[in-house]
Amino acid sequence: MMIEDIFSDSFLAKAKADFNNVKSKPDLDKTKSMYLGSDSGVMKGFSSIPKLSADHRAEYGKNLNSLKSKLEVYYKAARESLDKGTDLPGLDLSLPGLSERSFAHGHKHPTSQVLSQTYDVFRGLGFSIVDSDEIETDWYNFEALNMPKDHPAREMQDTFYVNNGKSNLVPRTHTSGTQIRFMENNKPPFKIIVPGRVFRNEDEDATHIWSFYQIEGLVVGEGISMSDLKGTLLTVVQSLLGPEVDIRFRASYFPYTEPSVELDCKYKGKWLELGGAGMIHPQVLINGGIDPEKYTGFAFGWGAERIANIKYGLTDLRELWRPRFVFLEQF
Q: How far is the CB of 206 from ligand FA5 (least distance, A)?
A: 10
Q: How far is the CB of 323 from ligand FA5 (least distance, A)?
A: 18
Q: What is the longest distance spanned by two Cα atoms in the chain?
A: 117
Q: Any contact of residue 305 with ligand FA5 (CB under 6 A)?
A: yes
Instruction: Dihedral sign for Cα 162, 154, 190, 213, please.
Output: positive
Put the strands of the sheet holding 128-129 in their side by side order: 128-129, 190-199, 211-221, 296-303, 270-280, 257-267, 246-254
Q: How far is the CB of 175 from ligand FA5 (least distance, A)?
A: 7
Q: Any contact of residue 208 with ligand FA5 (CB under 6 A)?
A: yes
Calpha distance 122→129 (Å, rounded): 8
Residue 110 or 278 having the CB closest to ligand FA5: 278
Residues for the chain: how many in total?
331
Full DSSP string of 54-80: HHHHHHHHHHHHHHHHHHHHHHHHHHH
Pairing of strands 257-267, 270-280: antiparallel
Q: How many residues bind ligand FA5 (CB under 6 A)?
A: 27
Q: Any contact of residue 301 with ligand FA5 (CB under 6 A)?
A: yes
Applying CB under 6 A, among 200, 229, 240, 295 the residue interacting with ligand FA5 is 200
Applying CB under 6 A, among 41, 171, 275, 297 the residue interacting with ligand FA5 is 275
Q: Any contact of residue 306 with ligand FA5 (CB under 6 A)?
A: yes
Applying CB under 6 A, among 114, 180, 192, 209 the residue interacting with ligand FA5 is 209
Q: Any contact of residue 232 with ligand FA5 (CB under 6 A)?
A: no
CA triple 288-291-295, angle to 5 deg: 100
Q: How far is the CB of 139 from ligand FA5 (least distance, A)?
A: 16
Integer Rg of the chain from CA: 37
Q: Any contact of residue 212 with ligand FA5 (CB under 6 A)?
A: yes
Site residues (vs ligand FA5, CB under 6 A): 156-157, 174, 176, 200, 202, 208-209, 212, 214, 216, 254, 257, 273-278, 299-303, 305-306, 317
